[in-house]
Structure 1
């Protein structure tokens, strides 16, 4: 059964199932997901692309994607009974929903004489909780010691796609469209889903860009990132294959691998602490402010700080945001505005195509200082961040068109323009003084 492993290459689940005389490549459109607030128009569009591409990949090997809609447990059991299946294969995952689904599947299949096989290293490179610190703790709470152990792990070798897939005669069902999964319109510049698109990006990344990653990954206008995050989330690309392809050949490749280790790190934290999807991992006694006006300004990209607003508008336009902009915008909400990080995480969940619970929630907790950051009270100055990571203002001009004709570095501080020029720009004044915001946060944290 496919979940977050929508590919035919390097897929341990499909590899194991296809070895049988008969195999039913099944995907269940689970109403518990599509009917929840987690499903958004952007993820629906990417998922529909990916399922259509997966179906084409299976058909090219003699198979077909079998689609059912309803409860995952009920539909898997129904298909297993109809075709006398004695094994069901699935990828492991760490969210509370996925863990509950796995337990319920195992019980339900056992009652009809089938066995559930759960495969690690499908969603992450190193299985969550497969490495643990000395002293009895079940997970690492600090990244650096985790990374040292992560680097020593021997990754499995990537698997070839099955040559042929023998599927019994059955009604395959219809591959869902984006509109069927979610009725809303996606972001106008949303990326395309599917394994074939992932492999094109992978080839280009390894050939042309990864070696420069260490120097370029934080530069906002240059965007030296891989743009593979959505493909890793939906499993149209294997993180294990990605690490093998990138290798250890350069400083850039090693820096990129470190970022993938962060992804594994967050998954092992959530696996051990599923409550941290919503509760502070390390409570700081925060009494968050409530200001719908400030929250709305942040969501709309109208805070008066162009580097923050550019990030928020990129999110709305593309369903994606540069990693440095994510940090800037999250830190600004949680610390300068002192609004609850969960409000920001919810907005990201509403729009991000690459959003998964582990990375989104853990990154937000890191930015808010309630997670694994070893300097939980640091406050980023968005103006300093702009000078460092968008020195010429190209990123701001791309996403904040009101400021497109502002020359020089004043694009980051439009309130310093002469009044006659300022009056011509439909752009708000800052909603908060940076010094006042930082002071308010620090006082609240230390009282």
Structure 2
């Protein structure tokens, strides 16, 4: 047997062992939610389509939970009303797995090529590890839409569709029309000077919302005037699964959480995010922009359940990317890879649930909010890609020179090589002066 064949056999064996280990871990650690959220979605749609009720009047029997997404989301999910329960489960799981696999390939493949890893092996290992990742397994077990939204935003920001910037903003607009929280990516486009994409995203979200209003006027009226403002439909703010800044404040005083304290924390967090996003955009680092905005969305949203934290996955993968790009054996590589490992370990461990019943005291504050601290750490310290040095005679923009490493292997966000509009203007002026 040749050395290459032995290596392949060893890698196959390693993947099988890891897959068995992850399956064993999931059999013990994963909570079976019975596709609870999918039951809510489908129940509301069946009630609406087949039983003549209003979709936002529906509550899952025995619970306070109802359909909380905008009417355009109901339009997207409408086929579910005509599927059997088991068929709906198959579609939900397949959509979650496929979008997750494609996202991992997009984000990991450039790292694999630069590091010289066997690409299929790195992808298989990553799939196993992501299957154990608590936000991802919770998304699948609940029947949630988080990976679909992340998929739409990533396609948009990383310019992964043919035509590049011509379509910029459409994916973000559709994600915002399905669920309001991705609307912060429209703010990201504005903060980083991508005005055309921001207008496209806003126009897409508006057009989708108007379409839903034309098709379902009663449902649209009820959502925008009533259901949207009924916070009791989404659950208890102090519940330990709410890993947002609002959740932290609510757990400090569940009876009377301070809205002022929460708003102050949100304001400081948004200032930090805007500054770091502009720094990333200045070198064309849209992958870091995606990760930073995903983290801040989880932090400032009033409700961020654990399954929403799939938005932290790009940040963890970027830590690996930046670590592998650092000199071998250097302190920077060790620190970044250690941070990625520790963050992943905590986000796989279900540690916050140990304080589900009693989140008081210093231990409750520190460990019951563990995922919030990880989101803050990614927002504050995730390294922005360094622009590669270039010759003074090279007129290329900073993002063009940074998009490719010396070995010629593209960065994660290679598809977005154009600098922000304001930066292109400054570069043009500099060339004119020359």
TM over 0.5: no
Q: Which has the higher strand share?
A: 1
TM-score, L = length of structure 2? 0.29
Q: Which has the higher helix share?
A: 2
TM-score, L = length of structure 1? 0.29
